[in-house]
Amino acid sequence: MLCGLLPPSEGKVSVSGFDLRTSPASARSRIGYVSQKFSLYTNLSVFQNLLFFSRAYDLSGEKQKKRIASVIEEYELGSVLDSDAGRIPLGFQKRLAIACATLHDPDILFLDEPTSGMDPQSRREFWIRMIRFSRRNTTLLITTHYLEEAEYCDRLVIISRGKILIEGSPQEIKKPFQTVDNPTPTIEDAFIGLIEQSKEEN
C-alpha cells in the first residue's frame, strides 16, 4: 500500500503531498522500492537494467546519462556493467537493485530486508551508503530482522504478529529496559522484553 501497488484499505496515505488514492502516479514517481528478491531482469546486462529502469522513470537525454553515470560511480558497478544481472554476486545484485530504484532521486526509498544474505562486510558497506543517502533528505523506510541494524535508524516501529508493540527512537525504545544489571540494553533486549510483555498481557 505504501508503495502505491495496492489502494489503501482505509485512511489516507500521501507522498510528498500527493494522495496515493487520488494521485497514484504522481505519488509513485517520488517513491523508490527494493523488494527482498529485487526486481531485476537477470537476462539483461547490468547496464541494460539501468537503461530500462531509467526509461521506466521517464528519464531521457542528458539527465538520463548523468543519473546512470552517477549511480554507476556511487554503487561501484563499473566492473560488471557488461555482465548479466543474474550472474553477478549477490552483493552486486543488491547494489544494482538500489541503483535502479534511486535513478529518479526519490523522496522516499522502501527497502525490504535489504541485507538478507549479505556477508558482514557487504552489510557494513550497505549501511555506510544508506547513511550517506539519508543525508540528502531522502526518507528511508527499512524492514529488517537484524535488530542490531535497527540502531542505525532515527525511528523504529517494532511489530510482532501484525501488532505494533512500540515506536520511537532507538534510545526511547531501549530506555524502559535499563536495569542495574543491564544499564545499556540493546534493541534486541528491548524486543525480547516487549515480546514477553505482550505474552503476559494476552
Give 6 or 167, the one with higher predicted confidence.
167
What's the average model confidence in pLDDT over 99-106? 94
Q: What pLDDT does 121 receive?
A: 86
Same domain, 51 and 117: yes
Same domain, 68 and 3: yes
Mean pLDDT across the chain: 90
pTM for the full predicted model: 0.84
Query: In this model, does residue 20 exceed pLDDT 90?
Result: no
- By residue range, what is the domain housing residue 167? 150-202
Name 91's Cβ contacts closer than 8 Å, sequence gap at least 6. Answer: 118, 119, 122, 125
Same domain, 139 and 189: no
For Cα atoms 131, 134, 135, give the angle at the middle one, nearest 5 degrees: 95
